[in-house]
Structure 1
């Protein structure tokens, strides 16, 4: 009987096979790409008052600390007290009204003249040939240098003052409006011709909207120029006005009155420029720009 030999196979326990970890996909939430804003940002109401108010605060602080000699630059409260005294006495009201009337007259005449000349030169080659060169020559001549000549022509009264202010006003109005008219894209002109627009329709629908931004730039410069010329003109054989008040204060060494006149001119200039800016935003509300 054959011996049956039974063999037992002993197997070692299986080792766990090291497997590389399966990469788990990372879930990322993709939203709108972040865009860096390059615009100045949202407009803040009354933000333009921050600079003047800061300057006024520095002036008041330096005066209160005794850093400023009151004979050179009086304190703000001293200037306000002087203004109140002159207002109650009636002299400041008279000078203020006279200066406003002179500036208004000269500004109105210069504005009308500048707009009419710019339209004539910008819409006609003949008008440009006749007008633009003359205006450029007038611009090169110092306007205040014309004062002696205009005194000989018009006398020493109010007329020459109004005319000088008008000249100072019309030059920036003309230059900026004429440049805006010349900068209108010629494709708009071709489109108007294709649509068979009349001359008036072309001016109303193409020329005026295209030239308004340049016109308002010239208007702001003209408003400032009217006040700058007024302060000089009112010191020449005048009997009233803010410039006359400052000239008389110089003779008597009244620094507070001089500073008061300068502050009034500054307030008038700031207020008129702000009014033009407000009008510009209303009229050009359709335009999207960095300032809007």
Structure 2
């Protein structure tokens, strides 16, 4: 298993670059044909399946603004309006340096956390000559918690606030309606609460999309924690979502047992149980802005 994650890390050290772009998220919904120039397009509607990243990268010279929101758990009852009285939010900007290479930054209210990522599409699903059965994207992120600790000495230790995530996102679009993705994952935390907690947490994610209509789809996502102390103490993240695309925006509505919206939180720290009402209602809103006037709407993700 360790060799797999060493390969992921090595892949990011050897990333090549290329160039291209797109115009509007609305164009994604029109990608009914699975292949453009032999390459498969629109495996997922946007860069997230629900909580986790999809294989999609931001097209070159495009800026994506994303608002992610989670209310409280449904078990809060009527007094807390079934979770609507509580809120956790994340704001993010993601930019396509090329069609295959994206960078992003974000800030979550949970633990006042800042995060940044690099994402590169290593392989694109393709038909015909030199066919490739899947799309493969490498992902690496760093998150830093800026929450003030009670311990003054702990506040001064910068490295203890850092956490890192490495993923290999592997997806296949089987037809115009159904896509499936697997996401082997390593989350490394420089500081953990007790000696029992694991600094390195390994997980396997699975996500799928089923297109219901031209503008809507149903998504599901699950992260399985590999056996260890973290798997014993926490719950596997499980989420269901519904995507709506309209007017250049993608609205993603979902139910999840994870409060956090970045890998540092929803993979190793999920505590909600679906059977006990530990479910968060939330949404993602995505909007793309183009910085290339020569681009055409027909350019698809």
Same fold by TM (over 0.5)?
no
- Structure showing greater Rg: 1
TM-score by length of 1: 0.22
**TM-score calculated relative to the size of structure 2:** 0.22
